[in-house]
Amino acid sequence: MNELFEYWQLLLVPVFFAMGWAAARVDMRQVVHESRALPRSYFKGLNFLLNEQPDKAIDSFLEVAKVDSQTVELHFALGNLFRRRGETERAIRMHQNLLDLPDVEDKHRLQAMVELGQDFLKAGLLDRAEDIFNKLLGTAREADAKRSLLEIYQLGKEWLKAVEIAREMPDVASHKEIAEFYCELAAGEIMRSRHDSARQYLDVAMQENRKCVRAAMLLGDLHQQAGRSEEAIAAWQAIEQQDPAYLSLVAQRLLDAYRKLDRRGEGIALLRGYLEHYPSIDLLEVVYQLVLESEGNEAAYRLVRGELQRNPTLVGLERLMSARLPLASPEMRGDLELGKTIVQGYTRRLSRYRCNNCGFKARQFYWRCPACGGWETSPPRRSEEFDQSL
């Protein structure tokens, strides 16, 4: 019985081979038929691309579109390629050509508008991009248009428009982001000394996000600008309940406020307490300068040495060497200076804030990442601290 089954298997082999050969013949005929249906300009364009002649390739592919509008996917692919490479003029030309075709399907026309708007956005032509996306409102691509309009309003610092459209997209824009928009409005009003409107914007920001640290910081700035140092200190101290990691960003503000009130000792005690409970390179720098001014080199050195033992960092080591230099003998100062110079070469790269989303690094702290556009994506810690916590 087993032998009979094996014979049947052998008989099936040529049958399957014949079926595969027939299918291949059908596929080959289809490929040949389709290739003959394509215009010569299509193959000329491919040849130009292979020979790294993109300008001539574009001209050839544009001829294809004039002959056969079914090749629109090719144009979308090329247009997006040019945009990613930063060749926005070519991308605009590609997508604009699609819009000019009389027989393009509606779905392709809408897609061409979306892509053209993205081209204008990438090129920094915000007004033209906004015009394109406004025309897409009420169409099947409205969601794409609103997302792009939100980005345009943030780039153009049109924060009230950003708030309006963000409220229409709760799945895209969170309460945290809306609170940041109101903080941007409040910051502008504080710069213009418009305290009443600034306070109103900050109140709305806190309603959107009770843990909005930036709103608390700006509220303290508002009080300080108005000469109300006590209220400013209270606003900044409230950050400990929201997120104590951000206390390092207001340490210098707190110190200045206590100085104005002639209560430096109280300020020193508060900041040293923060440093003990929430260690930070930035906080250490402020406390170090404060202790150096009020208690001298020996006390500043002890402070940094103790902090370095608790939280060893190269940035802290550099500060320790700076604190040790005035106390060192003449024979040791040369070696300390050399060591400090070497360590500084490394700490310049480590003393940066880093975005959790994209890895962008900067010496100053940004509430919105300049690279990826994320809000509050950079922890208020330097790169060295960030790496140690992983």
Q: 369 among the known binding-site residues?
A: yes
Helix (H, G, I), strand (E, B) or coil at 77: helix
Whether 324 contacts 299, CB under 8 Å: no
Residue type, 42: Y
Q: Is the dihedral of CA 83, 102, 48, 76 positive or negative?
A: positive
Name which of 325, 310, 301 is nearest 278 in CA terms: 310
Which tokens hold the place of 283? 């906080």
- The whole-angstrom separation of Cα 160 and Cα 58 is 41
Let me know: does 76 contact 111? Beta carbons within 8 Å.
Answer: yes
Establish whether 183 is an annotated binding residue. Answer: no
**Hey, CA dihedral for 291, 296, 301, 303, is it positive or negative?**
negative
How far does CA 306 lie from the centroid of its chain? Answer: 36
Q: What is the SS3 assignment for 44?
A: helix
Nearest to 75 by CA among 126, 36, 41: 41
Whole-angstrom Cα distance, residue 372 to residue 377? Answer: 9
- Tell me if residue 99 falls in helix, strand or coil: helix
Helix (H/G/I), strand (E/B), else coil: 27:
helix
Burial class (CB in 10 A: 0-12, 13-18, 19+), 316: buried
Which amino acids are annotated as binding site, given as ranges? 355, 358, 369, 372
Which amino acids are annotated as binding site for Fe cation, given as ranges? 355, 358, 369, 372
